[in-house]
Amino acid sequence: MNPDLDLTLERVIRAPRATVWRAWTEPDRFEKWWLPAPTLCRVDRLDVRPGGALVTRMSDDGLEFAPHLDAIFIVVDDLERIVFTNVIDSAWRPTDPSPVPMTAEITLGDHPDGTDYRVIVRHGDPAARARHQEIGFADGWGSVTGQLAALAEGEAPR
Amino acid sequence: MAQYSAQLDGVFIALADPTRRGVIRRLGRGPTSVGELAREFPMTLPSFMKHIHTLESNGLIHTAKSGRVRTCVLNRERLAVVDDWLAEQRQTWEERTDRLERLVTDPEENTR
* pLDDT single digits (tens) A134-157: 443 333 333 444 444 455 444 433
> How many CA atoms, within 13 angstroms, populate the side-chain half-sphere of residue A119?
22
* pLDDT single digits (tens) B13-23: 888 888 998 89
Kindly determine whether residue B93 and residue A123, on different chains, have CB atoms separated by under 8 Å. no
* pLDDT single digits (tens) A8-46: 999 999 999 999 999 999 999 999 999 988 889 999 999
Kindly determine whether residue A33 and residue B4, on different chains, have CB atoms separated by under 8 Å. no
pLDDT at residue A87, as a whole number: 95
Q: Which of B78, B100, B111 to probe the A interface (max A CBs under 10 A)?
A: B100
Low-confidence ranges of chain B (pLDDT < 50): 1
Kindly determine whether residue A99 and residue B79, on different chains, have CB atoms separated by under 8 Å. no
* pLDDT single digits (tens) A57-89: 999 888 999 999 999 999 999 999 999 999 999
pLDDT at residue A134, as a whole number: 44
Q: Which residues make beta-bridge pairs with A55?
A: A45, A70
pLDDT at residue A135, as a whole number: 43
pLDDT at residue B33, as a whole number: 94
Query: Contact, A99 vs B8, CB < 8 A?
Result: yes
Domain range B2-83, CATH class:
mainly alpha
Give the gap in angstroms from C-alpha A92 to the nearest C-alpha of chain B. Answer: 22
Task: Decide if B73 touches A, using CB distance below 8 A.
Answer: no
CA pair distance A111, A37, nearest whole angstrom: 29
DSSP E strand boundaries for chain A: 6-13, 40-46, 53-59, 66-77, 81-85, 102-111, 114-123
Q: Which residues of A touch B (CB under 8 A)?
A: 4-5, 7, 9, 11, 13-15, 19-20, 23-24, 29, 32-34, 36, 58, 66, 68, 98-100, 102, 117, 119, 121, 123, 126, 129-130, 133-136, 141, 144-145, 148, 151-156
Domains observed in chain A: 6-124 (3.30.530.20), 125-158 (no CATH)
pLDDT at residue B27, as a whole number: 86
Closest-CA residue in chain B for A7? B90
* Res A129 pLDDT > 80: no
Distances (CA, A) of A75 to A23, A67, A103, A107, A145: 17, 23, 11, 11, 35
pLDDT at residue A146, as a whole number: 46
User: Considering only CB atoms, which chain B residues are within 8 Å of A153?
Assistant: 28-29
Domain boundaries, chain B: 2-83
Kindly determine whether residue B82 and residue A19, on different chains, have CB atoms separated by under 8 Å. no
Cα A14 from chain centre: 24
User: Considering only CB atoms, which chain B residues are within 8 Å of A130?
Assistant: 12, 15, 82
